[in-house]
Amino acid sequence: MKRDFTLVTDFSRQEILELFRRAGQLKSETHAGIAHPLLQGHNLAMLFQKPSTRTRVSFEVAMNQLGGHALYLSPAEVGLGQRESVADVARVLSRYCTAIMARVFGHDIIVQLAAHAAVPVINGLSDLAHPCQVLGDLFTVIERKGDRDDLKVAFVGDGNNVANSWINLASIWPVSLTLSTPPDYSPDAGIIERARAGEGGRIHITEDPHEAVRGADVIYTDVWASMGQEDEAAERQRVFADYRVDRDLLKSADPDCLVMHCLPAHRGQEITDDVIDGPHSVVFDQAENRLHIQKAILLKLLVD
C-alpha cells in the first residue's frame, strides 16, 4: 500500500529516527564518493507552482545519485487546477512516474494529489506546511546536539508553514518549542491545538522574542513575507522590526546555541549578516541536509 508524506506527523518518532540513521549513512557515503543505485528505474515527477533553489536541486540530485530520474514540471506546463484538474494530473503522472513531489500554494492541492495518485506524494512545500525542511532541520540539530529530550527551540518571526511544521514535529517529539510572533501573525490555530493534545514536547507562544530565546539551544527564523505575500512586504517590515535575529537577541540564548534559517534569507531584515555568517549559524548545513534527508524519505516511500 502506497504512503504519502504530506505532514511531519505522517511518520512516527521511531520512523523519523530510522530516516535520520539512513540519512547519516547516505551523507557519509556521498562524501566518500560511494553511490548506490537504489532507485534505478524510478522516476520522480516534480510539480512546481512556486520557484525553488533548494527543493528542486536537492530532490533532483537525490534521485540522480540514487540512480533514478527527476522531471521538473513548471507552472506553465501543467497549470494545476486551471489547464487540468489536480485529480487528472495525479492520475496521469501515476501512469508515468513512481512518485510525485509538489511545491505549491494551497495545501488542498497536496491533499488532492495524495487522494488521487496511485504513487507516493511528497509535500515539497505548501502554504500550510514544509515537512521536508523541518526533518532536515532536526537532523541537523541532532548532528550537533545529539538526540536529547531537553532540547529548547525558539522560532522567531512569522507563524508560517515552517513554524507550523515545527509545531507538528513537537506533537510527536520531546522538544520544548517556543514561538514568538507579533499579534495576528501566529501559526495555524488548529495545528497548535492538535499538537498540544499530542504526546510530544511542550509548545509555548509569546510576543516577546527575548523571552522566547531565553536559554534556547536553537534559534530559528524565516522570511517575514513569503511567496505570495509580496504586497504585504512593507507592512510586514514595520510589524516585524522587533523580531530580527541579531547579536543582541543571541545574548538571551544558550551560549552554544545554533542559529537556523531555511533560506532564502533577506539579510538585514529577519536576520543580520553577522549572525547568519557567524559561529552560531548552521544555515548551510541545513541546506545540505535537505539532500540527505530527502534521499531517506524517497527510499522509505519507494523501497522499504
- Supply the residues annotated as catalytic: 103, 130, 133, 222, 262, 290
Which residues make Cβ contacts (< 8 Å) with residue 129, sequence separation at least 6? Answer: 6, 7, 8, 107, 123, 161, 164, 165, 168
3-state secondary structure of 82: coil
Its sign, for the CA torsion 28, 34, 35, 38, is negative
* Residues 116, 42: Cα–Cα separation, whole Å: 20
For 254, list phi and psi in degrees, rounded to 5.
-60, 140
For 71, list phi and psi in degrees, rounded to 5.
-115, 120
CB 132 within 8 A of CB 55: yes
User: Residue 153 gets which letter from DSSP?
Assistant: E
3-state secondary structure of 250: helix
Length of the chain: 304
3-state secondary structure of 124: strand
The residue among 303, 294, 262, 300 whose CA lies nearest residue 30 is 294
* Residues 55, 228: Cα–Cα separation, whole Å: 17
Residue 281 CA, distance from chain mean position: 17
